[in-house]
Structure 1
Amino acid sequence: MTSNAELQNLDLIDLLSERHSLVRRISEKAWNDQSDIYISNSEWYIMARIYKKRPTISYITKNVEISRQAIHKFIKNLAAKGLVEINNVENNKKEKCIQLTALGEESYEKNEALKAQLESKIADKIGVKQVAILKDLLKLDWGIEQH
């Protein structure tokens, strides 16, 4: 774990990486401390893309920054844990759609609440206004997207 003193010498890319790793570890631990169902960060990422939707699996593979093979593996894992269900698409024999089960939705919503608690802790430490500014900065178009 990087100390606060070590953070002082990092550039933007490494600072983002360090903070991202830290909040992901804390978030993952918070979930694992209160649930018997292990869900990886990549699985959460996929669950976020399908929450309250019924996208096709091909839509997920085109719009998620994970390899097609890995996405299929994660979806299979999520289905085995009872978090998603895979259904045929009407009038299309090849295509499948995916959606969260009731357990999947409940798990996703519990995890969102845990993340909100972590964000609140951060806001208590650095200030609500600073968190809002940080979020706004991260949402800006940085003009660096790859095509």
Structure 2
Amino acid sequence: MNDLIELLYRQRKQLRHVAETMWNSKYELHLTSSEWSVLKSISEGKRTVPELVVQLDITKQGVHKFLQSLQDKELIKTELVKGTKLQKVASLTDKGQDAMQKSLALDYEISEMVRASIGHEQYEQLISILGKPLISN
């Protein structure tokens, strides 16, 4: 019996590994999977620490650790913004935007590798299936 969750996890892990390996072979800037997750979330728009905690399902301490690491690599900048309370807000720097553009190009390259591996029709079916909720409420 195939365990769907385990199969999806293994495929995600393999694709993440391929993406990291390709990135690391092309660029000197090395990022972990977790750093990529945080960076991709920030690339969708400015994010506060609480938003990142909820969106990425990681601890507040983890978010702060990754923000500091990404800031040290000059990919993001943070600022304190006063709203109902003082919050740290993260946004991409020019270097971060450049890294995201390069990452999108690699994502496309990997998508094409998957298409070549499983065939065009199966690729389109996979995209269609994964684009829908797998469990309806």
Shared fold per TM-score greater than 0.5: yes
Could you list the runs of 4 or more consecutive aligned residues of structure 1 that deviate by over 2 angstroms after TM superposition? 90-93, 142-145
Q: Does 1:135 align with 2:135?
A: no
Q: Contact 2:49 / 2:60 at 8 angstroms: preserved in 1?
A: no
Q: Distance in 2 between matches of 1:52 and 1:137?
A: 24
Q: Distance in 1 between matches of 2:94 and 2:105?
A: 17
1:91 Cα deviation from its structure 2 partner: 5.1
TM-score normalised by structure 2 residue count: 0.89
Q: Distance in 1 between matches of 2:47 and 2:108?
A: 26
1:88 Cα deviation from its structure 2 partner: 1.9
Question: For residues 47 and 144 of structure 1, do their structure 2 counterparts lie closer, same or farther at Cα, with a shift above 3 Å needed?
Answer: farther
Q: Contact 2:74 / 2:96 at 8 angstroms: preserved in 1?
A: yes
Total equivalences in the alignment: 137
Equivalent residue in structure 2 for 1:101, among 93, 100, 103: 93
**Equivalent position SS for 1:88:** strand
CA RMSD of aligned residues (A): 1.9
Question: Where do residues 43-54 of structure 1 align in structure 2 (5 Å cutoff)?
Answer: 43-54=35-46
Identity percentage of aligned residues: 26
Q: Distance in 1 between matches of 2:134 and 2:44?
A: 29
Where do 5+ consecutive residues of structure 1 fail to align?
1-8
Equivalent residue in structure 2 for 1:122, among 102, 114, 120: 114
Letter in 1 for 2:30: Y
Question: Where do residues 38-77 of structure 1 align in structure 2 (5 Å cutoff)?
Answer: 38-77=30-69
Where do 5+ consecutive residues of structure 2 fail to align?
none
Letter in 1 for 2:102: K
Q: Does 1:17 align with 2:15?
A: no
